Amino acid sequence: MADQSKIPQATAKRLPLYYRFLNNLHLQGKSRVSSKELSDAVKVDSATIRRDFSYFGALGKKGYGYNVEYLLGFFRKTLDQDETTNVALIGVGNLGTAFLHYNFTKNNNTKIEMAFDADKSKVGQEIGGVTVYHISDLSERLKNVQAAILTVPGAVAQQITDELIDSGIKGILNFTPARITVPEGVRVHHIDLAVELQSLVYFMKHYPVDE
């Protein structure tokens, strides 16, 4: 098995993408895949795929391609797919509610275990099978949870981040427009949907893709 610390970050970021596609192939009963097929599906050029896969010790054979089962086994180990990561969701508004209804476990082993909100009318509800607790119970309830999804208003994002970190959270998926500050050792991924959409429109206008 390859040493995970030697995989470049750019390669590591593409792992979930590869994993999802290969998992679907596996479910369809396919045992091998060509780099061209993979490239078309995940929109990564085949030279990059070959380089990425060489880090996993997976060398495609000409005319055969890659062994789906071998790759899946590697990805499962590397992405800790054998172990479920428990996630808490903070802020059960429109976006938060959508996430609670979304079945994350379909493609990977993350699970929203609990949700929190400050609105008393939401506390005690069960949405998508997940119970909503009051935000003041955060430190008491957050046991065996490693990551959090932040879908609160930007104005309270930092304060809630601090509380999450005090409770031992090591990763935050931040959907608020606020740029949050965290101590070393805590990872934040920031997804601002409004900015992403604006950026898409900008690129469509200024960098049209060839037909």
Query: Half-sphere exposure of residue 194, counting CA atoms within 13 Å on the CB side?
Result: 5
* Residue of 26, 29, 130 lying closest to 86 (CA atoms): 130
Least distance to ligand ATP, CB of residue 176, Å: 8
User: In the beta sheet, which residues pair with residue 85?
Assistant: 110
Q: Does 121 bind ligand ATP (CB under 6 A)?
A: no
> Binding site: which residues?
91-96
- Residue of 18, 22, 99, 117 that binds ligand ATP (CB under 6 A): 117
Q: Does 151 bind ligand ATP (CB under 6 A)?
A: yes
* Residue of 134, 124, 126 lying closest to 91 (CA atoms): 134
- Residue of 40, 119, 137, 166 that binds ligand ATP (CB under 6 A): 119
CA distance 80 to 26: 18
Of the two residues 25 and 178, which places its CB atom closer to ligand ATP in the complex?
178
Closest residue by beta carbon to ligand ATP: 93
Q: Does 91 bind ligand ATP (CB under 6 A)?
A: yes
Q: Does 161 bind ligand ATP (CB under 6 A)?
A: no
Contact pattern for ligand ATP over residues 61 through 90, marking x by CB under 6 A: -----------------------------x
Least distance to ligand ATP, CB of residue 126, Å: 15
Q: Are strands 32-33 and 66-67 parallel, antiparallel or unpaired?
A: antiparallel
φ, ψ of residue 163 in degrees (nearest 5)? -65, -40
CA distance 131 to 126: 4
* Residue of 25, 45, 27, 26 lying closest to 36 (CA atoms): 45
Q: Does 156 bind ligand ATP (CB under 6 A)?
A: yes
Least distance to ligand ATP, CB of residue 154, Å: 8
DSSP 63-117: TTBEEHHHHHHHHHHHTTTTSPEEEEEE--SHHHHHHHHS-GGGTSSEEEEEEEE
Of the two residues 66 and 122, which places its CB atom closer to ligand ATP in the complex?
122
- Residue of 152, 157, 178, 180 that binds ligand ATP (CB under 6 A): 152
Biggest distance spanned by C-alpha atoms of the chain: 61
Binding site for ligand ATP (CB under 6 A): 90-96, 116-119, 135, 151-153, 156, 160
